Amino acid sequence: MWNYLLRRLLGIIPVIVGLSLIVFLLMAMIPGNPAQALLGAFATPENVARVSAELGLDKPLWQQYFIWVNNLLHGDFGRSYVLNRPVIDEVLERLSATLLLGGCALLLSVILGLLAGVTSAVRQFGWGDRLITLLVLIGISLPSFLIGLLMIMLFAVSLRWFPASGMFAIYGGGDALDLLHHLTLPAITLAIVATGVIARLTRTAMLEVLRQDYIRTARAKGVSERRVIWRHAFRVALVSVIPAIGIQAGFVLGGAVYIETVFQWPGLGAMLVKAVSTRDLLLVQGGVLVAAIAYVLINLLTDIVQACLDPRVKS
């Protein structure tokens, strides 16, 4: 197990290097001059040249990249042009809100997706299977931002059960109950698509396992149906589903950009949208890189869990 973990950790290094290069090049390809966007109405040629020199934007692209990477290795993500504060402070502050939203959405999607998939497989071709399949197809087909708008119209505007935006109430509140109240709609919206994907894959994996000979043998020996499903079949099927859960974690992080914008959730996604619009390159680079590294670490954790359940993965 330790050898497998060491190999996976070493494999992350070139991935992170490649991510840093891609992030830097993508930000460099965005049209416009950050110095000009920062100066606004004061963007005279002299002022643009002066600010570009101060920010190091007058250097060759390859030199800018190595300066940025060298600063990253020393824990310096730079300073936000617009916010005038260290990038790492802003990113970590926003990342905590995104991880809370994404973590709750992923946990909800895993629980509901696994239960729906198992139920659909056990009741194959029954009314429960058809109903779950219909709901899953609807959830997968609709865009997340449209689902969010529909949720706001129904539960926030019409029924007034939940707030439409924000992380805490503007006046008062601020406790865990207030946070949960604001978290409900965006977390459910973000979890819908991932729930559908996990449910479909779980159903397929369970149907394949339930046709195996050892399942028939267990039933022939008089083992209870509940034990056959959850102890014998579900554990084997879970090995096939776990990699998909890791992939869905990435989609949840990516979907947070839309959901945080729709619900005005003060997370990393909303920060990136504003940073791109203001050409705050260092903030965009830091935010995207941290989100990408978080996704890589989630996939590493997923691989470790899969290896624990299935020793063949380590070979």
Q: Is 5 inside a domain boundary? A: no
Calpha distance 296→286 (Å, rounded)? 15
Q: Is 266 inside a domain boundary? A: yes
Q: What is the pLDDT of residue 1?
A: 65
Structure tokens at 139: 């959830």
Q: What is the pLDDT of residue 83?
A: 80
Give residue 156's domain range.
87-312
pLDDT average per 10 residues of sequence, the chain (315 residues): 73 83 79 66 71 72 82 81 83 87 90 91 86 86 85 89 83 77 90 89 90 85 84 84 82 80 85 81 84 81 73 57
Q: Is 284 inside a domain boundary? A: yes
| Domains in the chain, number | 1
Q: What is the pLDDT of residue 43?
A: 67
| DSSP letters spanning the chain | -HHHHHHHHHHHHHHHHHHHHHHHHHHHHSSS-HHHHHHGGG--HHHHHHHHHHHTTTS-HHHHHHHHHHHHHTT---B-TTT-SBHHHHHHHHHHHHHHHHHHHHHHHHHHHHHHHHHHHHTTTSHHHHHHHHHHHHHHHS-HHHHHHHHIIIIIIIS--S-SS-SS-SSS--SHHHHHHHHHHHHHHHHHHHHHHHHHHHHHHHHHHHTSHHHHHHHHTT--HHHIIIIIIHHHHHHHHHHHHHHHHHHHHHHHHHHHHHHT--SHHHHHHHHHHTT-HHHHHHHHHHHHHHHHHHHHHHHHHHHHH-GGGG-
Q: Is 294 inside a domain boundary? A: yes
Q: Is 12 inside a domain boundary? A: no
List pLDDT tens digits, range 32-54. 666 666 666 666 777 777 767 76
Q: What is the pLDDT of residue 112?
A: 93
Q: Going by C-beta distance under 8 Å and a sequence separation of 6 or more, which residues neighbour residue 278?
A: 37, 38, 81, 82
Q: Is 220 inside a domain boundary? A: yes
Q: Is 271 inside a domain boundary? A: yes
Closest CA to 78 of 93, 56, 97, 60: 56
Q: Is 34 inside a domain boundary? A: no
Whichever domain contains 221, its CATH number is 1.10.3720.10
